[in-house]
Structure formats: C-alpha cells, structure tokens
Amino acid sequence: MTIDIDALAAIDVHTHVHASVNAPAGDGKDREAFFAYFGSDVVSPTVHDLAEYYAARNMVCVAFTVDATTATGEPPDVTNDEIVELAALHPDVVVPFASIDPLRGRAGVLEAERLVEGGGIRGFKFHPNLQAFFPNERAFYPLYEVIEASGLPALFHSGHTGVGAGRPGGDGVRLKYSNPMFVDDVAVDFPAMPIILAHPSFPWQDEAISVALHKPSVYIDLSGWSPKYFPPNLVQYANTLLKHKVMFGSDYPVITPDRWLADFEKIDIRPDVRPLILKWNAARLLGLAPAEPAT
C-alpha cells in the first residue's frame, strides 16, 4: 500500500464494521444501550460505509469486527473474508484486521493461517472481555505463534468496556479479562509480535503505561474515550517517553473521529508530538511509512 502520509490528515487505528453488505440495514442486534452509553446515534457501517466516511476526511482507518461466537452464542457482524475483500477495493483508505475467536482452538489457528497466507489481512483484533478469555492462557499461544510469524500486529481491548455497561449483570461481560498485565505475559513470550493495547485502560492505566514503557513491542491506542477525559499521567507519558508508541483511534461509530479530534485539539499535547499520535506512529507500525529511530 502506497499512501502519502504527509498529505494525510490522520490514521484511525480503531474502527468497527457493524454490518455486512448483504445486510446493510444492520443485523437486528440491540445496540441502543451500547450507543447510548457513549452518547451516540446508532450507526451500523459496512466496509464501504467506512471507506466513504474516512475518504471524505482524508484519513485511513483500521477496520475489524469482533468474533465472540463461543462466549456469546452470536456470530460476528461480518466475516473476516468480507472485510478483506471489500477493503481491497479501498486500499488507500481501509486497513483490514481479522478477528479470531480464541475459544475456537485449532479451528481458529487454521483460520488465522489461512488469512495470513491469503495476504490481505494487516493485523488481528482481540476483545478479552467479550470473548471471555485471559490473553496469557497457554491454550491461545498457538494462535499467537501464527501472528508473530506473520509479523502482523495484534490489538487487544484493555480496561473498561461499554459493552454491557449499565445492563443487569453487565450482560455477562466480565471486566477482569482486560487487565493489561495479562498482555504483558504475551509480550514476554512473543517479543516479535507488535501489540496494541486499545483504549485508555481504566482502571489499569498505570499498568498499561508500564507495559508499554517496558516492552518495546507494545503500543497504546487512544480510542473509546474523548481526549478531554484522558488521565493526566496518560497525557504526560504521551508527550514524553511514549510519544512514539501512542496512536489515534476513535472507536467509530460509537465515537466519531470529528468529535475525538475536536477534543484532542483542546488538551495539552506538544505540537511536535501531535502528528506522531495522529498518523506517524501508526503509519510506521502498519508498514505505511518507513520506520525511523525514535528521538
């Protein structure tokens, strides 16, 4: 993929595909409580919708679904194959990530191998809360072996989640799975696998910062929160020791990039660091721009 990063406004490393082109009106899932948690209108974008939306903003987006079929009994909104196929029609806008249900065991490993061999996938997304797994369990290591060998990044949801928030029993979603310290074990055992800790990791923000500081392979995306709510320690480290390891993400469609960027303008981020967070760190991690030594 050849993209003029200098001319690009931003790279959003965290967006969701919520509908298949075969069901453009959505899949009938009740999303009202989820979107209400973020104060957003219910939107169910297809890959084509994402491409149109981000192209209009001169941005690139990383797009994925979440396959939590085993834990929830519900299939993902869209298949990995559809995301890869449609993203290929928008190569200058959409970067496709796959979602593998870790609880599928060997079948999940085989799907990851197939997707890597196909050459279209650019990374993998995991949601430990929704998929109900501890990332450091050895049963999932064969899956990480495939990802590490591919050289592609793995993005792990971390911290609190809006999924099930405010619902009785949290709709069965358990927060314990997404402590970043479980991902620290993965970073130790798979040092060549780039890892993205998604979101400010409340209530484990210090843990996430520590892991990213300690492990060269670990990055942080800032999705899922308006920047005006970022804790001071996250802003401090984003400005200094983590300035090459923190990246813009919105969590679209629950938070729009327009809303995120407007709030980002108002927080105390150094002028020289802003372009790193908005596009350059992601461009280098995703292979859209040459890597260069940190300064």
Q: What is the pLDDT of residues 190-225, one digit of tens each?
A: 999 999 999 999 999 999 999 999 999 999 999 999
Task: Please write the tens of the pLDDT for every residue from 144-157.
Answer: 999 999 999 999 99
Predicted local confidence at residue 44, as pLDDT: 86
**First and final C-alpha spacing in the chain:** 26
Pick the CATH number of 10-285 from 3.40.50.1700, 3.20.20.140, 1.25.40.80, 3.30.9.10: 3.20.20.140
Dist CA 114 CA 41 (whole Å)? 36
Domain boundaries defined on the chain: 10-285
The pLDDT assigned to 118 comes to 95
Is the model's pLDDT at 29 over the cut of 80? no
Q: Which of 156, 17, 15 is nearest to 78 (CA)?
A: 17
Pair of tokens at residue 180: 């970043």
Evaluated on CA atoms 12, 129, 188, 109, the torsion sign reads: negative
- Give the model's pLDDT for residue 289: 84
Provide the 8-state DSSP code for 140.
G
Q: Which helix (H) or strand (E) covers residue 66, if one does?
A: none
CB–CB of 60/54 below 8 Å?
Answer: yes
Q: Please, which pLDDT band fits residue 30 given cuts at 50, 70 and 90?
A: low
- Give the confidence band of 248 by pLDDT, cuts at 50, 70, 90: very high
Residue 13 vs residue 171, higher pLDDT? 13
58-112 confidence digits (pLDDT tens): 999 999 999 999 999 999 989 999 999 999 999 999 999 999 999 999 999 999 9
- At 293, the pLDDT band (50, 70, 90 cuts) reads very low
pLDDT at 39 (0 to 100): 65
pLDDT of 2 = 66
Residues 66 and 142: their CA atoms lie apart, in Å, by: 19
Q: Helix and strand tally (H, E) in the chain?
A: 13, 9
Residue 138 and residue 140: Cα distance in Å, rounded?
5
pLDDT band with cut points at 50, 70 and 90 for residue 295: very low
pLDDT above 80: residue 278: yes
- What is the pTM assigned to this prediction? 0.93
Per-residue model confidence as pLDDT tens digits over 106-145: 999 999 999 999 999 999 999 999 999 999 999 999 999 9
